[in-house]
Amino acid sequence: MSKFDIKDILANYDKNNLTIATVCSHSSLQIFNGAKKEGFNTIGIAVGEKRKFYDAFPLAKPDEFIIVDNYKEIFSLTDELAEKNSIIIPHGSFVEYLGPKNFLNLELPTFGNRNVLMWESDRNKEREWLEGSNLTMPMEIKNPKDIDIPVIVKYHGAKGGKGFFIAKTYEEFKQRIDKNKSFTIQEFVLGTRYYLHYFYSPIRENAYKLSKGSLQLLSMDRRDETTIDEVQRLGSIQELEEIGIHPTFVVTGNIPIVIRESLLPKVFSMGERVVEKSLKLFGGIIGSFCLETVVTETLDFKVFEISARIVAGTNPYASGSPYSEYIQNNLSTGRRIAQEIKFAAKHDILHEILS
Ligand code: AMP
């Protein structure tokens, strides 16, 4: 959908009575809680009855629910949502359940720049963007026969690390690979993982300044992944592999974390370069995004993935993080998104942060 269409839809919106809407999953508690703190109406789009669950969290319960049988039904609700001046906040599950192509066609104002999808969902384009930003990514191994270091094999489109496996030799690779799926082979980077949560505003100048707008670091987390993170309770990985038990990377939760303070300038520099490149490539990665990194023992960052919207790793910080605390008390990513929308509505520049 073009900016022109968005402006058309926004022209009919009552800017003093906006609604923040999202799908009830992933980071929705935080998004609703943040929106309420900033005085917005809230709508939760739920597949199946979910009211009872949200009753347990009154401060994160949307004012209104729209219950659907499946996510595609959202397309028949666009008029109703537009009448309520709804702005959609996409999160990982939202885009996944709807499908990236369908998401692109959703005719409702959506927080962030939807053009990012084609750069994020295609691994080759993602590499072009990140390496073009002078970030170091894990080395890619094109031919499995060349495996002579530990590698991680990733299936395309697999979410949450599903099916990924580690191989140290071509033989191991052959034993484990599912030839019916397309895959990428990456060097397995040894080090500690940090998932860095940024917020880029093209319309505010009150943070780390970029050529246009400014950048914040709101928090960081580490993912809890089963069974790789706990497998050693049972024995060494080698022992277990011998009896056919292989570690997996399915995300089950998120752990709050901070990084050595001396690494923060590098963290900002990486975020800066990714945003500046995105401005040139597709008009900018707007709002929250996350760089998934490994810090090596030489204190270098290797970036293995980017997520271009709010990540579930921000959920430990509903009432702020050790970083957002230096910006404002009680500032979650969900609340920061609501603030950005509020500021843009006030200055009549919503089209600059929505697509
Ligand atoms: P991804 O779907 O790319 O986020 O990968 C899922 C998980 O696999 C990550 O959260 C990491 O724990 C791990 N991982 C991914 N890429 C690498 C890499 N190149 N080296 C080491 N671990 C990785």
298 alpha carbon – ligand 1 mean position (Å):
19
Establish whether residue 189 lines the binding site of ligand 1, counting it when its CB lies within 6 angstroms of any ligand atom. Answer: yes
3-state secondary structure 264-281: HHHHHHHHHHHHHHHHHH
153-189, pLDDT tens digit by residue? 999 876 667 889 999 999 999 999 999 999 999 999 9
Domain total in the chain: 2
Give me the percent of the chain exceeding a pLDDT of 90. Answer: 85
pTM for the complete prediction?
0.96
The reply to whether 271 and 229 lie within a common domain is: no
Domain carrying residue 245: 144-188+225-253
Closest Cα to atom 12, ligand 1: which residue? Answer: 249
The reply to whether 239 and 293 lie within a common domain is: no
Q: Check pLDDT > 70 for residue 144.
A: yes
Is the residue at 83 inside a domain? Answer: yes
Nearest partner of 198 among 354, 308, 34, judged by Cα? 308
Establish whether residue 250 lines the binding site of ligand 1, counting it when its CB lies within 6 angstroms of any ligand atom. Answer: no
Establish whether residue 9 lines the binding site of ligand 1, counting it when its CB lies within 6 angstroms of any ligand atom. Answer: no
- Bond preceding residue 298 cis, omega within 30 of 0: no
Establish whether residue 225 lines the binding site of ligand 1, counting it when its CB lies within 6 angstroms of any ligand atom. Answer: yes
Which residues are within 8 A (CB) of 284 and not within 5 positions of it... i.e. 6 or more apart? 113, 200, 202, 212, 275, 278
For the CA of 302, the nearest atom of ligand 1: 19
Q: Specify which residues 20 forms β-bridges with.
A: 42, 87
Q: Check pLDDT > 50 for residue 1.
A: no
The reply to whether 51 and 195 lie within a common domain is: yes
Is the residue at 1 inside a domain? Answer: no
What distances in angstroms separate CA 241 from CA 167, 189, 236, 244, 344, one per listed residue?
Answer: 11, 20, 9, 5, 54
53-90, pLDDT tens digit by residue? 999 999 999 999 999 999 889 999 999 999 999 999 99
Which residues are within 8 A (CB) of 305 and not within 5 positions of it... i.e. 6 or more apart? 126, 291, 292
The reply to whether 306 and 196 lie within a common domain is: yes
The reply to whether 73 and 113 lie within a common domain is: yes
The reply to whether 81 and 164 lie within a common domain is: no
Is the residue at 15 inside a domain? Answer: yes
The reply to whether 92 and 217 lie within a common domain is: yes
Establish whether residue 97 lines the binding site of ligand 1, counting it when its CB lies within 6 angstroms of any ligand atom. Answer: no
Residue 96 confidence (pLDDT): 87
Is the residue at 69 inside a domain? Answer: yes
The reply to whether 21 and 122 lie within a common domain is: yes
37 alpha carbon – ligand 1 mean position (Å):
35
